[in-house]
Structure formats: structure tokens, C-alpha cells
Chains A and B, each alone.
Chain A
Amino acid sequence: MGAILRNPKCALFAICLLPLVRLVVLGAGSGLGANPIEFITHSTGTWTLVWLLVTLSVTPLRRLTGRAELIRYRRMLGLFAFFYACLHVITYLWLDQFFDLAAIAKDIVKRPFITFGFAAFVLFIPLAATSTHAMMRRLGRRWQRLHRLIYPMALLGVIHYLWLVKKDLTQPLIFGAVLVFLLALRLPWGLSALRAVSNRLLAISAQRAGRDAVSPGIHAIKQGGRFMRSK
């Protein structure tokens, strides 16, 4: 067990499952409160957004640190976002509406927040379906273009949340602010800001390394070259 969790991918997998484990544990006791269906709906929705934002922060983080290997975790994070989105949708269709198709159709058409949430989920499906290596190879350049759908999809998701709360907007606004920040880091000025910060960090670490040892400057320059190249 310990050995498995020392593998970073396995550890991350376990961490991503924790919100579900929490729901199961709470559900086994009576920890879900007086309105368990509402609790499950909110919890799975919240965690969909959390994993989406974490997925979207992989690339900026890679650019900041120059650690290219971070990209290896992105697919799993994205698929976990999709997993929680599925749980969220199933909760709505089954527990909340009990497959009352007429009511569901009416909801999707008439309730803007459900329209947006539903649209986000629909956009999510092709991304999850084309997440395999085989699909990446088959789609080639088009794969990346297709996967840019994550940007509008995440925006729809946050608006969906913003629109449903009765009064207290704090939490949806926090999600919104983080999302806008992560998207801005992909715009030209965001990219240059990111580059400036990472060069600064590099200079600091080079300085420290220079103090501590004799020849680590070369290492720092090599690293610098790596993330200057990264898009």
C-alpha cells in the first residue's frame, strides 16, 4: 500500500477519490444532513469545478516551474473532473428528478442555470472520449483544438454555479476569480507575466545555488532554456 502511494500517479489517484470516499462514509452514518440529495448534488458539483480548475492550472504551473513532467498528471485530473461531473449529473437525473423526462427537459430549456450546466456537461463528453493515446494520435493537431473546449466549458460550469445560489455569491465568485486568473495566464500578457515571474524565481534560485556551491549556474541556465521554450 505504502509503496503504491509513493508512486505519484497512484497517490494523486487516491487523493482524487477522497471526496467520493467522504460522501460514502458520511452516507453510511447519517452525516449527509437533513437533505442528503442536496448535499450530494452540491458536493459532486463543487468537486467537478475543483478538479477542472486544478486541471487548468497544470500548464501554467509547468511554465512557472519548468517541470515538464507535470503534464503527465493532467489527463487523470481532467478525467476525475469528468467523473465527478457524471456523478453530479446522475444525482440530478436519478435522485433529484427520478428520471422524470418531461420535467428534466423543461428544466433544461427553462432554467438558465441548468441550461448552462447541461451545456457544460455536453461539451465535456467529447473531451473525455478523446482522452486516450490512440485518439490523440488519430486526431493529431485537431486534438489540441478540440480540447480548447475546456475553456468555454469551465466558464459555463462556473456560471451554472453562480446562477443557482440564492444569495451568497462568495463561493461561486471565488471559483470564477480563479478561473479568470487561470485563463488570463494563457493570454499574451499573462504568458509574459508568467515568464517574468519564472525568470525571477530562477534568478533567485541561481543566486542561492551560487552562494551554496561553485558551479550550479550551468544547471540553472539549462533549466531556464527549457521553460523559455515551452509555449
Chain B
Amino acid sequence: MSLRSSRDIPSLEITPPEIYRERRLFMQGMGVMVAGTALGITSDAQAGAKLADVHRSPYTLNEEKTPYKAVTTYNNFYEFGPGKSDPAERAGSLKTRPWTVKVEGEAGKPGEYDIDSLLKLAPLEERVYRLRCVEGWSMVIPWIGFPLSELIRRAAPTSRAKYVEFVTLDDPGQMPGQRSDILDWPYVEGLRMDEAMHPLAILAVGLYGEVLPNQNGAPVRLVVPWKYGFKSAKSIVRIRFVEKQPLTAWMRAAPREYGFYSNVNPHVDHPRWSQAKERRIGEFLKRDTLMFNGYGAQVAQLYRGMDLQTFF
């Protein structure tokens, strides 16, 4: 009698882990939805709740995802303190509901969106992106969100809208880190209009299938995967269309070290450390940092003709 070798099953027929995990996630999500409906609660209430109706997206990666625990306990979110574990320990004081995002400035249709209407603004997708921190570490995170361009289109920016400014909540009562003036609060970030309209730029409302945990920028944050992490403003309360390039929080704090563009670039070092390599959280050896964090094919044309040493 011969034993059947594993070759008898063509590898094509083996469900890849991403898919079966996703199936499990989907089933769990269904379970929560059913239970939630039975109890008369909505599933989108608080961090940790499963997000329903999440679509798969072509924007995924063949790289191992950073474990949920690391993604939610190793954070830079100075509004809760400068330490990496501060946000996870202290972000409980942030109240993400009710929450309104003002869309204003050079726009034909300015408005206010409460978080529930934002969640229904466009179909939610899962995007598995690399995240490269300016400090030299990186992660792979399955975000849930929708393209920023969906919101921008609805706001009908005028021809004078050259940049988009993002402002984080400024409330030392909820954000204890703001009681120290380590940065000039509120946190401000910005994108050029074409960057903001790029399909890779998303507004994220969740990760790992769940409502965004507070320490990751709940209830809504920006994710711009080809730029250093600090460009992706968290806990956004205002999106404003402006004519002049916004002065971002980090440019104000250290203009020599942080530029407006802050694209991931292994050839342009931080004045105090190299950006050529990065430590992927969970890995031992450093890996090479990729130009535009590996998204060059999609975004390099945004910067054609620009000297990236000057516009760092």
C-alpha cells in the first residue's frame, strides 16, 4: 500500500491562508452581526467590534501581516504621550462618539460628517499596506477604509484648492499627551491635491476587521502608505481645502528634519539617521527600505521632475 503524498493535492486547490483566515473573519463578523441584531445593538459602536460589509480589495500584499498585538501596542501617537506604549495605555479617555469631521475651505460643497455617515459614505474595503515609520521600523497592516478621493469628490473642491489639510482633535481632557507642549497642538498634516486624490490614499476606520482601536487613530484617520507614518493624521476632526501648502506639525517642530512630502525614500537620510534600512516589527534582520515604500509603480509619476533631495 502506498501512502498518498501531499503532491496528490495540487497546490492550486489548497486554500491560501489569507483566504481561509478571511473566511473565518467573515463568519465571525456574521456571528457578531447576528448577535448584535438580536441584542438590538449596532456592530459599529466601539473599538474591537467587527466591521460588517467589508469588501476585498486588489490592494493587498504577499507579506506577512504584523500581529494584531504589535499593531495595537506599539504606536506613535503623541497626543497620548511620547512612549510607544503610551497610546495603548492611555487612549481609553478618547471618546470617539459622537464625532464630527468638518470639511471646509475651498470647496463647493463643504459640510459636516458624523462618523456614522462617514462609515456609509463609500463601500468599506480591506487594504493590506506596508507602514514605514520615519524612525526606521515598519509593519504590514490590514486597514479597513475607503479612498479619500470619495470624500473629496463629494466636497467639490474649487480650482483654488491646491492642498488638503488634516487636523487632529485638540482636547487635552481626552488626549492627556496634549498637556505637554511636545508638539504645537493641534496636530496638522497635509497632502497635495493630486496626492490626496490618489487611489492608494485612504481614510481608515478599522483594522484587522474591527473598528479602529483608539490608539491607532480612531474613529477615522488617514493612511498614505508611500509616505512616512507621521503623514497619516489620526483622529481627524477637520479636513480643509487650501491654496497654500499647509505648515504641518512636524515641519513646525523641526523644519530641517521633516519636510512636507516625507515620501519613504532610502536615498534621502534623516539628518540624524539612515533611512536605507528598516526593521520590520517581528523580524530579526533589517530589510532594505523600498523607494516610495514599495509603491513606486503607482505613485512615482506624482513626483516626476521633482528633486526629492530638496522636496524631502
Contacts and interface: CB of A to CB of B under 8 A. Distances in A.
Interface of A: 33-35, 37-38, 95-98, 103, 106-107, 110-113, 163-164, 166-168
Contact of B84 (A33, A37, A106, A112): A33
A168 B279 contact: no
A183 to B, nearest CB: 26
A167 B78 contact: yes
B274 A111 contact: yes
Given A167-B82, A168-B182, A34 B274 contact: no
Contacts of A112: 272
B70 interface: yes
B38 interface: no
B74 interface: yes
B73 interface: yes
A34 B285 contact: no
Contacts of B78: 167
Contacts of A113: 272
Contacts of B85: 33
B135 interface: yes
Nearest to B82: A168
A166 B73 contact: no
Contacts of B286: 96-98
Q: What's the interface size class on B, roughly? A: 20 to 34
Contacts of A37: 279, 284
Contacts of B183: 167
Interface in B68-111: 69-70, 73-74, 78, 82, 84-85
Contacts of B284: 37, 95
Given A103-B274, A113-B272, A167-B253, A35 B137 contact: yes
A38 B286 CA distance: 12
A157 B56 CA distance: 51
B74 to A, nearest CB: 4
B281 A35 contact: yes
A106 B269 CA distance: 12
B282 interface: yes
Given A35-B74, A35-B281, A163 B82 contact: no
B73 A33 contact: yes
B74 A33 contact: yes
Given A33-B73, A35-B281, A97-B286, 18 more contacts: A33-B74, A33-B85, A34-B69, A34-B84, A37-B279, A37-B284, A38-B137, A95-B284, A103-B274, A111-B273, A111-B274, A163-B272, A164-B273, A167-B78, A167-B82, A167-B183, A167-B253, A168-B82
10 contacts: A33-B73, A33-B74, A37-B279, A38-B137, A103-B277, A110-B269, A111-B274, A113-B272, A166-B135, A167-B183
A97 B84 CA distance: 22
Contacts of A164: 272-273
Contacts of B282: 34
B279 A167 contact: no
Contacts of A107: 274
A35 B279 contact: yes
Contacts of A110: 269, 274
Contacts of A34: 66, 69-70, 73-74, 84, 281-282
B231 to A, nearest CB: 15
Contacts of A95: 284
Contacts of A111: 272-274
Contacts of A166: 135
Nearest to A168: B82
Interface in B268-311: 269, 272-274, 276-277, 279, 281-282, 284-286
A96 B277 CA distance: 11
Nearest to B85: A33
Interface string B252-275: 011000000000000001001110
Nearest to B177: A168
Contacts of B69: 34
A166 B134 CA distance: 10
B191 to A, nearest CB: 22
Contacts of B285: 98
A35 B272 contact: no
A97 B273 CA distance: 13
Contacts of B272: 111-113, 163-164
A143 to B, nearest CB: 37
Contacts of B281: 34-35
A35 B82 contact: no
Nearest to B136: A38
A226 to B, nearest CB: 46
Nearest to A106: B274
9 shortest interchain CB distances as A-B pairs: A34-B74, A34-B70, A168-B82, A34-B281, A168-B182, A167-B182, A98-B285, A111-B273, A35-B137
